[in-house]
Structures are given as C-alpha cells and as structure tokens.
Structure 1
Amino acid sequence: MSTEPADSTASVSTHILDTSVGRPAEGVAVTLAARGGDGADWVALGGSETDADGRCKDLPALPAGTTHVRLDFAVEPYFLKPQEKQAEAQQDAPANRDSGANGVFFPEVAITFAVVPGEHYHVPLLLNPFGYSVYRGS
C-alpha cells in the first residue's frame, strides 16, 4: 500500500493545429483561468505561447479545489501574420480573409471545461480561419 498522498489537483495541456495549412499554429498566446465551483469567480493563473509544434509546455499548475478551467486562445494576431507564408504552405489558402473588421472571423477562442482532481486534461484546438473544433485528447 502506497503512503503517497492522492493527487488533489487536475492538470491541463493544449496544442493548436491550423487545419487550413495542416501545420501547428506557432506563436498563439494562451491564458489559463480556473474556478472552484459553479458560482465562484474566475482566477487568472497565467499563460503561455504555442511553440513551433503548436504546444504550450509551460501552462501554470491548477490550484487545489479547481472544478472548472478556461483556456483563452488569442488567435487574431496569428491570423493577421503575413498571409504569403500561410498561402505557401497550402495552395488553396484564401488570399483575402473577408470576415470581420480585420479579416478575422474568430479573433479569440475561449474553451471552458470541467475537471476532477487527479486527472490530466489535454485539450487540442483544431483551428482554421472560419471555424474551430476542440476535444479531450490524451
């Protein structure tokens, strides 16, 4: 029988794949917030930025008692990068993104999910200029 205490916190990781070019989305700012119950206030814990593999490897740890987590992805600056680089990666990439004031339909993506202590939650974001999808990964 182990004398180690049970892990009382959940952990979170994420990555972003730009499905319009079939590559990781590098340089996207991601912030993490948590709360301990439905009526509790959100507490900003900090953030990270996606690396060349589209991964955030240094998100802050969740405090004990966390029941809900929110990941905020600032995708507008990513989509406003020079389009030639992205268009080179995919021959069918749109030359002109015609949505929103800056040509960005989704300037940010906020994902909120429930967690339980001791579990790890990997939450990938599949992103393109006109839509996104998320799921609980492994």
Structure 2
Amino acid sequence: MTSLSTHVLDAVTGTPASGVGLAVTDAGGALLTSGRTDADGRARLAEDLAPGTYRVRFATGEWFAAAGRETFHPEVVVAFTATGEGHLHVPLLLSPFAYSTYRGS
C-alpha cells in the first residue's frame, strides 16, 4: 500500500501555509479523507492507498480569503497515480496567481 503526505508553502512570504483545507478522492470522486495542513504547512493524508488514480484538492481560495488576500485559483486539484508501494509526497508551492507541484520524496 502507498502512504501520502503534502507540504504547502506560501511562495510570496516564504512561509508554511497552515490551515489549508485538503480532500483526497479516488478516481470515481469518492472522498477518502480530508483535513488541514498543520502549523508547518504539512499533512499526512493517507496510509493505505491501493494502486490507482487519486486527486488531492487544496482549498486555496478559502485559505487566501481567511488571510485577507485575493487569489485567481479558488482551488488547486492535483491528480496522481499510486503504484501501491512506498510513500508519495505531493508538495504545493502557492502564490495568489500561480502554483507549482511536483513528486516529492
């Protein structure tokens, strides 16, 4: 089985994005888990993903609004494939008008 984590960083301030809402869904859109990033912008999202395609939804619009900032992206959705082995880390570098993600370690 595959475990999953994330780390969200505010690229404008260079600080962790704490309190970002998260949701993990399977290929059919069924909600598997949800939560928020911790004070360091991190979250462990799943410990037992079977092989398949999944999505992590980051509630970026809500997070920016809570900080009194505008954003172009009300949410960021990252689709990825789990192979059923090891650990997947899906980081998000976030700014009001752009974002970037990659397969972390």
Verify same fold: TM over 0.5: yes
* 2:41 is the counterpart of 1:49: no
Q: Is the 8 A contact 1:11 1:119 kept in 2?
A: yes
TM-score when normalising by structure 1: 0.70
Q: Is the 8 A contact 2:49 2:82 kept in 1?
A: no
Aligned CA RMSD, in angstroms, stands at: 1.6
* 2:75 is the counterpart of 1:108: yes
Count of residue pairs brought into register by the alignment: 105
Q: Note the C-alpha offset of 1:34.
A: 1.8
Render the CA deviation track for 1:64-116: whole Å, top value 9, x for unaligned: 3x311100000112111344xxxxxxxxxxxxx6xxxxx32001000001110
| Identity across the alignment (%) | 43
Which residue number in structure 2 is paired with residue 61 of structure 1? 47
More strand by share: 2
Q: Note the C-alpha offset of 1:16.
A: 0.1
* 2:102 is the counterpart of 1:135: yes
Render the CA deviation track for 1:6-50: whole Å, top value 9, x for unaligned: xxx211110100000000001111001123xxxxx2321021100
Q: Which runs of 5+ in 1 are unaligned?
A: 1-8, 36-40, 84-96, 98-102
Q: Which runs of 5+ in 2 are unaligned?
A: none
Structure 1 runs (4+) deviating above 6 angstroms are none
Match of 1:23 among 5, 15, 22: 15
For the residue of structure 1 that corresponds to 2:47, the secondary structure is coil
The structure-2 alpha-carbon separation of the partners of 1:115 and 1:82, relative to structure 1 and needing over 3 Å to count, comes to closer
TM-score when normalising by structure 2: 0.90
Which residue number in structure 2 is paired with residue 80 of structure 1? 65
